[in-house]
Amino acid sequence: MSEAEETSSNDRILPFHLDLSEIRGRVGRLDKTLNNILSQHTYPSQVETLVAEATIITALIGQTINLKWKLSLQIRGNGPIKLIATDYFAPTQMGEIGKLRAFASFNKSKLNLDEKNPFKQLGKGYFAVLIDQGPETEPYQGITPLNGGTLLKCAETYFAQSEQLPTRFSLAVGRSQTKNNKIAWKAGGIIIQKMPKGTQAKPNNNPISDGKLLSSSDLLAGDESESWDRVNFHLDTIEELELIGPHVSKTRLLNRLFHEEQPRIFKSQPIKFGCTCSPKKVQNTMSMYSSKDIEKMTTTTGTVTADCQFCGAHYIMEPTTLGFDTKKNV
């Protein structure tokens, strides 16, 4: 892909490797994908900001691992914003595009609209990463407390604590006015990771048992620490508009930041909004309930309804086809 093509093509994640410092990374932007996700709901701007941040974080993480099916973020708190949930579905065959979806749960009456940092409205809680590689595999979950004042700091702590992998994020999200006088969201981000020499990162399945949260600096020493600090120094020079684009292409941005680190840039990967809900999946979910439970869910019109939290799809079902003890399932 040429730089001109890339500049006009957001909703892509661009992998790169810094040969001098042995650091891998991804740079990505979300435009139409993010607006499609947010348009499924009507959220206050503070909630939209957190959903946008969580979505770009998910997109960046999802393409750094050998994912066969789904990566999810679950951010839960005891504040007015109760939950931010995101899913990234990896392509399962050649030619497919990775898919993103997200939703939020919040108490509108308790939101502090004057609070400038939306993260504070999460309160106390946790940041969880769930990796599901599909049927006949056991899902992996890593959890870290909500800390550091931003979602990106939580993500960095997760990688240091659960994966023993020095990681740094740089993010920018914002709204702009289109030519049609509509408000559109944009998001951009970079992730860099210092890979262990000759080994894979080892997950720590009990990350917060000792009460101390690790950071990237706790995992590095000597030359590795020096090269990590040098790359982070360059990353600190990035400007918000460079991250969001589109006037500076992702390739040009990487060369500006890291030209001294001998960057190798690979083929960008497209990403789009997509939901996997379906009538069959909803019906399977309903199979955990008894016929008495289904009866309580039945509306005055004699049907059972369900809505997808991610895409808003509305399903209308016959009660006689639902439940684990219906004739169909006996």
Closest CA to 60 of 127, 121, 129, 119: 129
Residues 216 and 307 both lie in one domain: no
Of residues 3 and 66, more confidence is placed in 66
159: in domain: yes
Q: Is the pLDDT of residue 94 over 60?
A: yes
Secondary structure, 3-state, the chain: CCHHHHHCCCCEEEEEEECCCCEEEEEEEECHHHHHHHCCCCCCHHHHHHHHHHHHHHHHHHCCCCCCCEEEEEEEECCCEEEEEEEEECCCCCCCCEEEEEEEEECHHHCCCCCCCHHHHHCCEEEEEEEECCCCCCCEEEEEECCCCCHHHHHHHHHHHHCCCCEEEEEEEEEEECCCCCEEEEEEEEEEEECCCCCCCCCCCCCCCCCCCCCHHHHCCHHHHHHHHHHHHHHCCCCHHHHHCCCCCHHHHHHHHHHHHCEEECCCEEEEECCCCCHHHHHHHHCCCCHHHHHHHCCCCCCEEEECCCCCCEEEECHHHCCCCCCCCC
Q: Is the pLDDT of residue 199 over 70?
A: no
Residues 262 and 287 both lie in one domain: no
Residues 137 and 258 both lie in one domain: yes
| pTM of the full structure | 0.87
Residues 174 and 257 both lie in one domain: yes
CA distances from 156 to 166, 212, 236, 271 (A): 8, 14, 15, 23
330: in domain: no
pLDDT tens for 17-71 read 999 999 999 999 999 999 999 999 999 999 999 999 999 999 999 988 888 899 9
Residues 269 and 294 both lie in one domain: no
Residues 245 and 284 both lie in one domain: no
Residue at a domain's end among 238, 258, 273: 273
Residues 290 and 305 both lie in one domain: yes
CA distance 307 to 313: 6
pLDDT tens for 114-167 read 899 999 999 999 999 999 998 889 999 999 999 999 999 999 999 999 889 999
CA distance 42 to 275: 18
Residues 178 and 295 both lie in one domain: no
262: in domain: yes
Domains contained in the chain, number: 2
Per-residue pLDDT band for 101 (boundaries 50, 70, 90) equals very high
Residues 174 and 134 both lie in one domain: yes
CATH number at 122 reads 3.55.30.10
CA distance 56 to 12: 11
Contact 273, 101 (CB under 8 A): yes
Residues 293 and 198 both lie in one domain: no
pLDDT of residue 93: 83
Domain hosting residue 296, numbered range: 279-321
Residues 215 and 301 both lie in one domain: no
Sign of the Cα torsion 75, 315, 329, 132 reads negative
